[in-house]
Amino acid sequence: MYPTLAAIHSRLDSSSPDEKATVIAVSKTFDSAAIHPVLASGHRDFGENRVQEAQHKWPALKEEFPHTTLHLIGPLQTNKVADACALFDVIHTVDREKLARALVTHAEKTGHCPDLLIQVNTGSEPQKAGILPEQASAFITLCTKELNLPVKGLMCIPPIDAEPAPHFAYLRQLAQDHGFAELSMGMSKDYMVAANLGATMIRVGTAVFGERHARA
């Protein structure tokens, strides 16, 4: 196993060996040469936050490692829906009606839709993507009951300066209320907190690849 991922897995194991979260290695800003050894070591879940950047790196990597699961963890513009659905296996960032309807249109046209998660802006931060908490239940119902989208769970990014645990606990409760199995929460600094609050997917960049230099 890739050394930094082995360290993450052993921390997760020591805390809750029976309910292990999937570790998504967030490879944004890192080039194919940096990603390749992680794939070669056997890791199969990766996250990117920009469709265009992923399109440059991942078609070739996925051809070499066909069983890779690629996760879109950044905001999705409706004009990129077709590109995103063609490349990504899971989209974590469904957060508004216009995007949900664009995904339906694309799915009807192609017969295919990736697994979806709904991003909740748990801190109600104006600059941040995600459906606001007070609108979340109605939006979830729209996506699942009316639009029949394949929504598997919820995702959040707590405010940078906040204690993450209440945000994770809130998201877990919301997922439970709606019968969702998947919870995408926790990053390099707080993935243990998230794992202990029921995360089924943690999104870890820096702790796997080191500091990002190009951009956040």
The token duo for 13 is: 């194991």
Can you tell me the distance from the alpha carbon of 195 to that of 36, in angstroms, rounded to the nearest whole number? 27
Among 25, 26, 195, 201, binds ligand PLP (CB under 6 A): 26
Q: According to CB under 6 A, which residues from 81 to 110 bind ligand PLP?
A: none
Residue 49 found at the interface with ligand PLP (CB under 6 A): yes
Can you tell me the distance from the alpha carbon of 194 to that of 212, in angstroms, rounded to the nearest whole number? 22
Q: Using CB under 6 A, which of the segments 123-131, 144-152, 159-167, 205-213 binds ligand PLP? A: 205-213
Among 43, 71, 152, 203, binds ligand PLP (CB under 6 A): 203
Residue 130 found at the interface with ligand PLP (CB under 6 A): no
Min dist CB 158 to ligand PLP, Å, is 11
The count of residues interacting with ligand PLP (CB under 6 A) is: 13
Can you tell me the distance from the alpha carbon of 90 to that of 73, in angstroms, rounded to the nearest whole number? 9
Min dist CB 111 to ligand PLP, Å, is 29
Per-residue CA distances from 92 to 77, 114, 117 (Å): 13, 10, 4
Closest-by-Cβ residue to ligand PLP is: 205
Q: Give the residue carrying structure tokens 């890779």.
A: 68
Residue 205 found at the interface with ligand PLP (CB under 6 A): yes
Residue 120 found at the interface with ligand PLP (CB under 6 A): no
Using DSSP's 3-state secondary structure scheme, residue 83 falls into helix
Per-residue CA distances from 114 to 12, 72, 148, 196 (Å): 27, 10, 13, 27
Footprint of ligand PLP on this chain (CB under 6 A)? Answer: 26, 28, 49, 73-74, 157, 187-188, 203-207
